[in-house]
Amino acid sequence: MSTTDAARPQPRLELAIGGMTCASCAARVEKKLNRLEGVEATVNYATEKATVFAPIGYDPALLVAQVESAGYTAELPTPPTPGRAESAGAGHTGDHELAALRTRLIVSAALGLPVVLLSMIPALQFPGWQWVALVLATPVVAWGAWPFHRAAAVNLRHGAATMDTLVSLGVSAAFVWSVYALLFGGAAAHGMSGADLYLEVAAGVTVFVLAGRYLEKRSKRQAGAALRALLESGAKEASVLRPAPGSDDLREVRIPVDRMVVGDVFVVRPGERIATDGIVTEGTSAVDAAMLTGESVPVEVAPGAAVAGGTINAGGRLVVRATRVGAETTLAQIARLVEDAQSGKAAAQRLADRISAVFVPVVIGIAVVTLIAWLLLGFPAEAAFTAAVAVLIIACPCALGLATPTALLVGTGRGAQLGILITGPEVLEATRRVDTILLDKTGTVTTGRMALVGITGDSDEPGGDDETATAEALRRAGAVEDASEHPIARAIADAAKREGALPPVTGFRSDGGLGVTGTVDGERVVVGRAAFVTAAGMPLGAGLQRAVAEAESSGRTAVVVGWGDRARAVLAVADTVAPRSAEAVRRLRRLGLDPVLLTGDNETVARRVAQEVGIDTAIAGVLPEEKAEVVRRLQAEGRRVAMVGDGVNDAAALASADLGIAMGTGTDAAIQAADLTLVHGDLTAAADAIRLSRRTLATIHGNLFWAFAYNLAALPLAAFGLLNPMIAGAAMAFSSVFVVSNSLRLRSFRPLAATGSTAHATEERRTA
């Protein structure tokens, strides 16, 4: 896990950047911000945001002024809060910009297409067609390409050059040359050929680049759709219970969610979204949490159960007490984590950014050299001009700038839909390198809840081990234990309740750590350790003694229940292995990872759990503060270590590991220390998280490869006159669209549970 966050200046600020049209723009804004003393900034072209770390007390107005001095706009955006109207407003603004760009593209295409056809198909040419082409091309070059001219002028005023500079130069040069040829060069008198005219280049390039920008912007909005849907999925209003005027009776009052405070009690009817995070105080129901966890099966809730804002009440009426509101809710924190991940950059992208920052001046230089070289070699001016314009048009740093952010947008957004939160691009690099995965036992491999796993009656007594006798033992033990809050007591009581109603208990008494006693059906019942029951005058027969020994040797807790003159049964209680842990271990192995069980329990328990889920190596008896030391020891052996945990005692190990994975059912400390968070706490999601991370990283690398390959191949072709400028414009637009479209394929990522079993091994091997 990266440790750079701790060294960064604080606090963190976010700026919404306006006016960026390519990766060079983003690089320029980033460079400007980083010139400020004590400021560290990262600008993301795809999300159009700058993430800034500045000293405490730093005036944000200075940051805005610095961005504006570069020719762009900046403002502090509203923090992501589920259900807020601002979320929708931002979406409407994007839709408006997209619609305006679409209109500009349609009009330019309608005017530009006849110019291209007249120029390239001799059969369509008629006397004076050049003037018609000029009339049609003029609004395309002046109005259609105006965004490029305006951006180029702004950049020129600030002594910079971007992709818009290349487009504006290319289009303007082609148009001005054509006008000169018509008015002063005699092109109109050349009959039907129009050999000296480049009006089709000026119009065609404008249309193709506009088409590329439109498809790019639309794809970027699709890439961010998952986060927008997440933000907008929260409830807008809540039915809060408030005292009626002049009365102690409570009545329901509808208020906006952003006016709720911690402690508010609110009502959720069937079909409604739960307004905010809270604890159920009344009612039972099934809650659909698919939008948070990706799980399609609703979760049963009852009084005392925690529920998350934004989830849907699918059953009965619930009354909930708010525990977290606003930006502190689970949904808001997930949105914040996803946004954080999308604002980062992979190591490979930083190299691409450095290249993009100097790319445009280099291309302009290549175009000038190309023009001069062709003229010196004796080629006609028209041919030299064509090659130089093609060089200007073909260059496209946009594809380099979009390679990482679009893949991150789609990958992290898809992960959020599936309950997998990726905190940043550095995590993607880590998932590729890890070879060992430490699995904390309690709450990760196991459920973290004690449960009754077996009952053994006294076989030395007639009928003592039959079903009726063991059922009666569970009934009486459950009745006495129901008055205790101890986890082992709750496991026994809950198991007894599932079999039927519990009898009343009188004279309850607890001897801390030893056992409990009480009177049930007129008889004194003792439940606890074997020694405690024996000391109460209820000896264990040989069969029960064997049952105690067997339970303890297998790492279970043996609880003895007795009444009358002897012990009647042994109840075996244990923290049970989660249902899908064994499958999760198999999947992790297929991804090339060596699973290791890590636990503070004794060797016997560790060995039993490890054997049950198929883990070969178990490290037992580890104290909380020693878990991080285990991680460091394995790293010292040359291993790349991932750690999966859920508790406060796992936080240090999660932070020390090369890749920290937190179970979303765990503590906030563990989640904040981790690189990946599994919202619904299913260990099989760890394998899916690694698969998705590796797939996203592979997409980034693929995007960067094709972006580099495109420029390396296209520039020489253009310089040697092998590319028509109009075709170059189409190819330039295609490269950006290709990168974004390739990233959008991540939306089809599916958890392995959703695919056929035959596909599992093939898919996992391919991902590994």
Residue 99 burial class via C-beta count within 10 angstroms: exposed 0-12, middle 13-18, buried 19 and up: exposed
Q: Which domain range does residue 110 map to?
A: 97-223
Query: Which residue's entry shows tokens 């600030």?
Result: 158
Does 571 score more than 90 pLDDT? yes
* Whether residue 440 is found in the same domain as residue 457: no
| Residue-level pLDDT at 404 | 72
CA 603, CA 598: separation in Å to the nearest integer? 11
Selected residue with higher pLDDT from 36 and 227: 36
Q: Has residue 368 been placed in a domain?
A: no
Contact 751, 688 (CB under 8 A): yes
* Whether residue 101 is found in the same domain as residue 212: yes
684's tokens: 């099989």
Q: Has residue 632 been placed in a domain?
A: yes
Selected residue with higher pLDDT from 742 and 422: 742
How many CA atoms are closer than 13 Å to the CA of 66, on its beta-carbon side? Answer: 20
Selected residue with higher pLDDT from 731 and 54: 54
616's tokens: 């070969």
Name residue 270's amino acid. Answer: P
| Residue-level pLDDT at 400 | 65
Within 10 angstroms of residue 3's Cβ, the number of other Cβ atoms is 8
* Whether residue 661 is found in the same domain as residue 567: no
CA 1, CA 655: separation in Å to the nearest integer? 6
* Whether residue 536 is found in the same domain as residue 638: no
* Whether residue 513 is found in the same domain as residue 427: no
Least confident range of 203-207, 240-244, 527-531? 203-207
SS3 277: strand
Closest by CA position to 710, among listed 402, 415, 485, 483: 402
Last residue of a domain, one of 45, 77, 109: 77
- Relative to beta strand 420-422, strand 306-307 is unpaired
Does 310 score more than 90 pLDDT? no
pLDDT tens-digit series, residues 312-349: 888 789 999 999 998 788 777 766 655 665 555 555 55
Q: Has residue 337 been placed in a domain?
A: no
- The string over 165-188, giving b where at least 16 C-beta atoms fall within 10 Å of a residue's C-beta and e elsewhere, is bbbbbbbbbbbebbbebbeebebb
CATH of the domain at 266: 2.70.150.10
Selected residue with higher pLDDT from 525 and 501: 525
Cα 239 off chain centre by: 31
* Whether residue 110 is found in the same domain as residue 210: yes
> Once rounded to an integer, what is the mean pLDDT over residues 117-141?
89
CA 306, 310, 312, 318: dihedral to nearest 10 degrees? Answer: 50
Express the helix, strand and coil content of the chain in percent, nearest 5 each: 55, 20, 25
| Residue-level pLDDT at 168 | 85
Does 247 score more than 80 pLDDT? no
CA 485, CA 489: separation in Å to the nearest integer? 7
CA 468, CA 569: separation in Å to the nearest integer? 12
| Residue-level pLDDT at 758 | 40
CA 562, CA 317: separation in Å to the nearest integer? 42
* Whether residue 583 is found in the same domain as residue 680: yes
Q: Has residue 119 been placed in a domain?
A: yes
How many CA atoms are closer than 13 Å to the CA of 356, on its beta-carbon side? Answer: 31
Name residue 169's amino acid. Answer: L
Selected residue with higher pLDDT from 266 and 119: 266
Q: What is the mean pLDDT of the chain?
A: 80
According to the per-residue pLDDT averaged within each range, which of 268-272, 293-297, 400-404 is highest?
268-272
Closest by CA position to 225, among listed 746, 702, 689: 746
Least confident range of 82-96, 379-393, 402-416, 668-682? 82-96
| Residue-level pLDDT at 443 | 76
How many CA atoms are closer than 13 Å to the CA of 26, on its beta-carbon side? Answer: 30
Closest by CA position to 70, among listed 148, 157, 150, 147: 157
Least confident range of 379-393, 394-408, 434-448, 589-603? 394-408
Give residue 535's pLDDT band: very low, low, confident or very high (50, 70, 90).
very high
CA 516, CA 400: separation in Å to the nearest integer? 69
Does 462 score more than 60 pLDDT? yes
Last residue of a domain, one of 328, 349, 372: 328
Q: What are phi and psi of 667, to 5 degrees?
A: -85, 160
> Once rounded to an integer, what is the mean pLDDT over residues 116-140?
89
Does 5 qualify as catalytic in the annotation? no
* Whether residue 35 is found in the same domain as residue 126: no
Closest by CA position to 210, among listed 303, 97, 108: 108
Give residue 190's pLDDT band: very low, low, confident or very high (50, 70, 90).
very low
Closest by CA position to 396, among listed 141, 715, 741, 26: 715
Does 85 score more than 50 pLDDT? no
Does the N-terminal peptide bond of residue 11 adopt cis geometry, omega within 30 degrees of 0? yes
Q: Which residues contact 149 (CB under 8 A, 6 or more apart)?
A: 164, 168, 172
Q: Has residue 254 been placed in a domain?
A: yes
Name residue 217's amino acid. Answer: K
Q: State the pTM of this model.
A: 0.60
CA 192, CA 98: separation in Å to the nearest integer? 40
H or E stretch covering 412: helix 398-417
Does 637 score more than 90 pLDDT? yes
CA 439, CA 450: separation in Å to the nearest integer? 19
Please state the length of the chain: 768
> Once rounded to an integer, what is the mean pLDDT over residues 653-671?
72
How many domains does the structure of the chain reveal? Answer: 5
Contact 686, 700 (CB under 8 A): no
Does 107 score more than 90 pLDDT? yes
Selected residue with higher pLDDT from 133 and 557: 133
Given the residues 264, 277, 440, 646, the one annotated as active site:
440
Query: Which residue's entry shows tokens 């609110």?
Result: 266
CA 177, 182, 184, 189: dihedral to nearest 10 degrees? Answer: 140
* Whether residue 117 is found in the same domain as residue 210: yes
* Whether residue 563 is found in the same domain as residue 583: no
CATH of the domain at 612: 3.40.50.1000
CA 104, CA 145: separation in Å to the nearest integer? 9
> Once rounded to an integer, what is the mean pLDDT over residues 488-504?
90
CA 49, CA 452: separation in Å to the nearest integer? 53
Give residue 576's pLDDT band: very low, low, confident or very high (50, 70, 90).
confident
Contact 324, 276 (CB under 8 A): yes
Least confident range of 291-305, 584-598, 692-706? 291-305
Share of the chain above pLDDT 70, in %: 80
Contact 575, 581 (CB under 8 A): no
Name residue 626's amino acid. Answer: E
Share of the chain above pLDDT 90, in %: 26
Residue 578 per-residue DSSP state: P
Q: Has residue 148 been placed in a domain?
A: yes
| DSSP state letters, 147-212 | HHHHHHHHHHHTT---HHHHHHHHHHHHHHHHHHHHHTS-GGGSTT--TT--HHHHHHHHHHHHHH
Selected residue with higher pLDDT from 418 and 733: 418
| Residue-level pLDDT at 647 | 60
Least confident range of 66-70, 89-93, 158-162? 89-93
Q: Has residue 386 been placed in a domain?
A: no
Does 759 score more than 50 pLDDT? no
* Whether residue 200 is found in the same domain as residue 102: yes
According to the per-residue pLDDT averaged within each range, which of 32-41, 84-93, 336-345, 672-681 is highest?
32-41
CATH of the domain at 53: 3.30.70.100
H or E stretch covering 657: none
Q: Has residue 645 been placed in a domain?
A: yes
| Residue-level pLDDT at 575 | 80
Does 398 score more than 70 pLDDT? no
CA 146, CA 748: separation in Å to the nearest integer? 37
* Whether residue 476 is found in the same domain as residue 558: yes
CA 309, CA 324: separation in Å to the nearest integer? 9
Closest by CA position to 395, among listed 209, 216, 146: 209
Last residue of a domain, one of 196, 223, 250: 223
Does 216 score more than 70 pLDDT? no
| Residue-level pLDDT at 240 | 94
